Chains A and B, each alone.
Chain A
Amino acid sequence: EPEVTQTPSHQVTQMGQEVILRCVPISNHLYFYWYRQILGQKVEFLVSFYNNEISEKSEIFDDQFSVERPDGSNFTLKIRSTKLEDSAMYFCASGGQGSGNTIYFGEGSWLTVV
Protein backbone atom coordinates (compact mmCIF):
# COMPACT_ATOMS: atom_id res chain seq x y z
CA GLU A 1 0.00 0.00 0.00
CA PRO A 2 1.43 3.41 -0.93
CA GLU A 3 2.58 5.46 2.02
CA VAL A 4 4.13 8.76 2.94
CA THR A 5 7.67 8.33 4.23
CA GLN A 6 9.59 10.76 6.38
CA THR A 7 13.20 11.13 7.43
CA PRO A 8 14.72 11.40 9.93
CA SER A 9 12.44 9.70 12.43
CA HIS A 10 14.14 11.57 15.25
CA GLN A 11 16.56 14.46 15.27
CA VAL A 12 18.18 16.28 18.16
CA THR A 13 19.57 19.70 17.35
CA GLN A 14 21.04 22.59 19.23
CA MET A 15 19.11 25.80 19.55
CA GLY A 16 19.94 28.15 16.70
CA GLN A 17 20.80 25.40 14.23
CA GLU A 18 19.00 24.77 10.96
CA VAL A 19 17.03 21.58 10.41
CA ILE A 20 15.70 20.00 7.24
CA LEU A 21 12.94 17.43 7.49
CA ARG A 22 12.33 15.31 4.45
CA CYS A 23 9.22 13.67 3.09
CA VAL A 24 8.38 11.47 0.14
CA PRO A 25 4.65 11.84 -0.53
CA ILE A 26 2.51 9.20 -2.20
CA SER A 27 3.59 9.21 -5.82
CA ASN A 28 0.42 10.30 -7.63
CA HIS A 29 -0.61 12.86 -5.03
CA LEU A 30 -0.63 16.56 -5.87
CA TYR A 31 -1.28 18.22 -2.52
CA PHE A 32 1.34 18.26 0.19
CA TYR A 33 1.19 19.41 3.76
CA TRP A 34 3.21 19.84 6.91
CA TYR A 35 1.59 19.59 10.32
CA ARG A 36 3.06 19.89 13.77
CA GLN A 37 2.12 18.21 17.04
CA ILE A 38 3.71 19.40 20.23
CA LEU A 39 3.81 16.62 22.80
CA GLY A 40 0.38 16.16 24.35
CA GLN A 41 -1.23 18.79 22.17
CA LYS A 42 -3.33 19.00 19.02
CA VAL A 43 -2.21 18.39 15.49
CA GLU A 44 -1.65 21.87 14.00
CA PHE A 45 -1.60 22.87 10.34
CA LEU A 46 1.59 24.56 9.15
CA VAL A 47 1.50 24.79 5.37
CA SER A 48 0.00 23.34 2.21
CA PHE A 49 1.73 23.13 -1.15
CA TYR A 50 0.25 22.63 -4.58
CA ASN A 51 1.52 23.15 -8.09
CA ASN A 52 5.02 23.97 -6.84
CA GLU A 53 3.98 26.77 -4.57
CA ILE A 54 2.59 27.39 -1.14
CA SER A 55 -1.20 27.49 -1.31
CA GLU A 56 -1.93 28.20 2.33
CA LYS A 57 0.02 28.71 5.53
CA SER A 58 -0.87 29.20 9.16
CA GLU A 59 0.33 31.89 11.52
CA ILE A 60 2.81 29.36 12.91
CA PHE A 61 4.55 29.20 9.54
CA ASP A 62 6.58 32.39 9.79
CA ASP A 63 9.86 33.39 8.14
CA GLN A 64 11.67 30.78 10.18
CA PHE A 65 10.07 28.07 8.07
CA SER A 66 10.29 27.25 4.40
CA VAL A 67 9.22 24.38 2.18
CA GLU A 68 10.59 23.09 -1.05
CA ARG A 69 9.95 20.39 -3.59
CA PRO A 70 13.45 20.09 -5.00
CA ASP A 71 12.65 17.23 -7.35
CA GLY A 72 9.70 15.12 -8.41
CA SER A 73 9.56 13.07 -5.26
CA ASN A 74 10.82 14.91 -2.18
CA PHE A 75 9.07 17.58 -0.13
CA THR A 76 11.13 19.29 2.55
CA LEU A 77 10.51 21.50 5.55
CA LYS A 78 13.39 23.73 6.60
CA ILE A 79 13.45 25.31 10.03
CA ARG A 80 16.05 28.02 10.42
CA SER A 81 17.52 29.09 13.74
CA THR A 82 15.60 26.52 15.78
CA LYS A 83 14.13 27.44 19.14
CA LEU A 84 13.29 25.27 22.12
CA GLU A 85 9.59 25.64 21.37
CA ASP A 86 10.08 24.11 17.93
CA SER A 87 10.45 20.73 19.65
CA ALA A 88 7.56 18.69 18.31
CA MET A 89 6.55 15.89 16.00
CA TYR A 90 6.37 17.13 12.43
CA PHE A 91 4.06 15.25 10.10
CA CYS A 92 4.10 15.36 6.35
CA ALA A 93 0.86 14.50 4.57
CA SER A 94 -0.30 14.23 0.99
CA GLY A 95 -3.60 14.11 -0.82
CA GLY A 96 -4.65 13.18 -4.32
CA GLN A 97 -6.69 15.06 -6.91
CA GLY A 98 -10.37 14.52 -6.28
CA SER A 99 -9.77 12.85 -2.96
CA GLY A 100 -11.75 15.50 -1.16
CA ASN A 101 -10.10 16.01 2.15
CA THR A 102 -8.65 12.57 2.61
CA ILE A 103 -5.02 13.14 3.37
CA TYR A 104 -2.49 10.54 4.39
CA PHE A 105 0.13 11.17 7.01
CA GLY A 106 3.68 9.97 7.34
CA GLU A 107 5.04 8.49 10.53
CA GLY A 108 6.44 11.82 11.61
CA SER A 109 9.83 13.31 12.41
CA TRP A 110 10.39 13.93 16.08
CA LEU A 111 12.46 17.09 16.54
CA THR A 112 14.09 17.84 19.85
CA VAL A 113 15.77 21.22 20.24
CA VAL A 114 18.19 21.43 23.16
Chain B
Amino acid sequence: QKEVEQDPGPLSVPEGAIVSLNCTYSNSAFQYFMWYRQYSRKGPELLMYTYSSGNKEDGRFTAQVDKSSKYISLFIRDSQPSDSATYLCAMSGVPNNNNDMRFGAGTRLTVKP
Protein backbone atom coordinates (compact mmCIF):
# COMPACT_ATOMS: atom_id res chain seq x y z
CA GLN B 1 0.00 0.00 0.00
CA LYS B 2 1.30 3.44 -0.90
CA GLU B 3 1.72 5.88 1.97
CA VAL B 4 -0.49 8.47 0.29
CA GLU B 5 -3.16 7.56 -2.21
CA GLN B 6 -4.76 10.17 -4.44
CA ASP B 7 -6.91 9.53 -7.47
CA PRO B 8 -5.08 11.19 -10.39
CA GLY B 9 -8.33 11.85 -12.24
CA PRO B 10 -8.77 13.60 -14.55
CA LEU B 11 -11.80 15.23 -13.02
CA SER B 12 -13.97 17.48 -15.16
CA VAL B 13 -16.81 19.60 -13.74
CA PRO B 14 -18.98 22.45 -15.01
CA GLU B 15 -18.40 25.96 -13.72
CA GLY B 16 -20.16 26.54 -10.42
CA ALA B 17 -20.01 22.91 -9.30
CA ILE B 18 -18.76 21.81 -5.90
CA VAL B 19 -15.54 19.87 -6.26
CA SER B 20 -14.40 17.23 -3.80
CA LEU B 21 -10.78 16.09 -3.85
CA ASN B 22 -9.55 13.37 -1.53
CA CYS B 23 -6.49 11.57 -0.25
CA THR B 24 -6.07 8.58 2.00
CA TYR B 25 -2.94 7.68 3.88
CA SER B 26 -1.55 4.83 5.88
CA ASN B 27 0.97 6.45 8.24
CA SER B 28 -0.76 7.35 11.49
CA ALA B 29 2.19 9.59 12.42
CA PHE B 30 1.13 12.23 9.91
CA GLN B 31 -0.17 15.30 11.71
CA TYR B 32 0.29 18.12 9.21
CA PHE B 33 -1.82 18.15 6.09
CA MET B 34 -1.45 20.46 3.14
CA TRP B 35 -3.13 21.04 -0.18
CA TYR B 36 -1.16 22.53 -3.03
CA ARG B 37 -2.39 23.74 -6.39
CA GLN B 38 -0.09 23.29 -9.37
CA TYR B 39 -0.68 24.87 -12.74
CA SER B 40 0.98 23.26 -15.72
CA ARG B 41 4.76 23.62 -15.67
CA LYS B 42 4.59 25.76 -12.52
CA GLY B 43 5.60 25.22 -8.92
CA PRO B 44 3.09 23.92 -6.35
CA GLU B 45 1.30 26.77 -4.59
CA LEU B 46 0.23 26.26 -0.99
CA LEU B 47 -3.55 26.49 -0.69
CA MET B 48 -4.45 25.11 2.71
CA TYR B 49 -2.61 23.91 5.77
CA THR B 50 -4.21 22.05 8.66
CA TYR B 51 -2.90 20.43 11.78
CA SER B 52 -4.50 17.25 13.11
CA SER B 53 -8.23 16.62 12.62
CA GLY B 54 -10.92 19.11 11.82
CA ASN B 55 -12.06 21.58 9.21
CA LYS B 56 -10.52 24.75 7.90
CA GLU B 57 -12.21 27.19 5.58
CA ASP B 58 -10.64 29.85 3.38
CA GLY B 59 -12.96 31.55 0.93
CA ARG B 60 -14.29 28.96 -1.51
CA PHE B 61 -11.93 26.29 -0.17
CA THR B 62 -12.55 23.95 2.77
CA ALA B 63 -10.05 21.39 3.99
CA GLN B 64 -11.16 18.49 6.14
CA VAL B 65 -9.03 16.02 8.03
CA ASP B 66 -10.35 12.80 9.55
CA LYS B 67 -7.41 11.17 11.28
CA SER B 68 -9.50 8.26 12.54
CA SER B 69 -10.21 7.28 8.93
CA LYS B 70 -6.86 8.53 7.60
CA TYR B 71 -8.73 10.57 5.05
CA ILE B 72 -8.40 14.19 3.98
CA SER B 73 -10.52 16.24 1.63
CA LEU B 74 -10.47 19.55 -0.16
CA PHE B 75 -13.77 21.07 -1.21
CA ILE B 76 -14.02 23.86 -3.76
CA ARG B 77 -17.32 25.71 -3.87
CA ASP B 78 -18.56 27.65 -6.88
CA SER B 79 -15.70 26.28 -8.98
CA GLN B 80 -14.25 28.57 -11.63
CA PRO B 81 -12.33 27.84 -14.85
CA SER B 82 -9.31 29.42 -13.13
CA ASP B 83 -9.43 26.55 -10.61
CA SER B 84 -8.37 24.19 -13.41
CA ALA B 85 -5.07 22.76 -12.19
CA THR B 86 -3.55 19.74 -10.52
CA TYR B 87 -4.23 19.54 -6.79
CA LEU B 88 -1.65 17.82 -4.63
CA CYS B 89 -2.20 16.65 -1.10
CA ALA B 90 0.85 16.53 1.14
CA MET B 91 1.36 15.41 4.69
CA SER B 92 4.07 14.99 7.27
CA GLY B 93 4.59 14.12 10.88
CA VAL B 94 7.33 16.33 12.23
CA PRO B 95 7.46 20.14 12.18
CA ASN B 96 10.08 21.48 9.81
CA ASN B 97 11.24 18.01 8.88
CA ASN B 98 10.23 17.85 5.28
CA ASN B 99 12.13 14.71 4.49
CA ASP B 100 9.08 12.91 5.79
CA MET B 101 6.63 14.99 3.76
CA ARG B 102 4.79 12.80 1.31
CA PHE B 103 2.90 14.04 -1.70
CA GLY B 104 -0.07 12.45 -3.38
CA ALA B 105 0.12 11.86 -7.11
CA GLY B 106 -2.10 14.90 -7.73
CA THR B 107 -5.61 15.12 -9.15
CA ARG B 108 -5.98 16.99 -12.42
CA LEU B 109 -9.10 19.15 -12.33
CA THR B 110 -10.74 20.88 -15.28
CA VAL B 111 -13.58 23.34 -14.69
CA LYS B 112 -15.48 23.94 -17.91
CA PRO B 113 -17.14 27.32 -18.54
Contact = CB atoms under 8 A, between A and B. Distances in A.
A110 B42 CA distance: 10
Interface size class of A (residues with CB under 8 A): 20 to 34
Nearest to B2: A42
Interface string A26-37: 000001010000
Interface residues of B, number: 24
Given A43-B88, A108-B43, A101 B32 contact: yes
Given A31-B96, A42-B105, A45-B101, A103 B46 contact: yes
Contacts, number: 72
Contact of A101 (B34, B44, B104, B106): B34
Interface string A81-110: 000000001010101010111111111101
A105 B45 contact: yes
11 contacts: A31-B96, A44-B103, A45-B101, A56-B97, A100-B95, A101-B49, A101-B95, A101-B101, A103-B101, A107-B43, A108-B41
Interface of B: 32, 34, 36, 41-46, 49, 51, 88, 90, 92, 95-99, 101, 103-106
Interface of A: 4, 6, 31, 33, 41-45, 48, 50, 55-58, 89, 91, 93, 95, 97, 99-108, 110
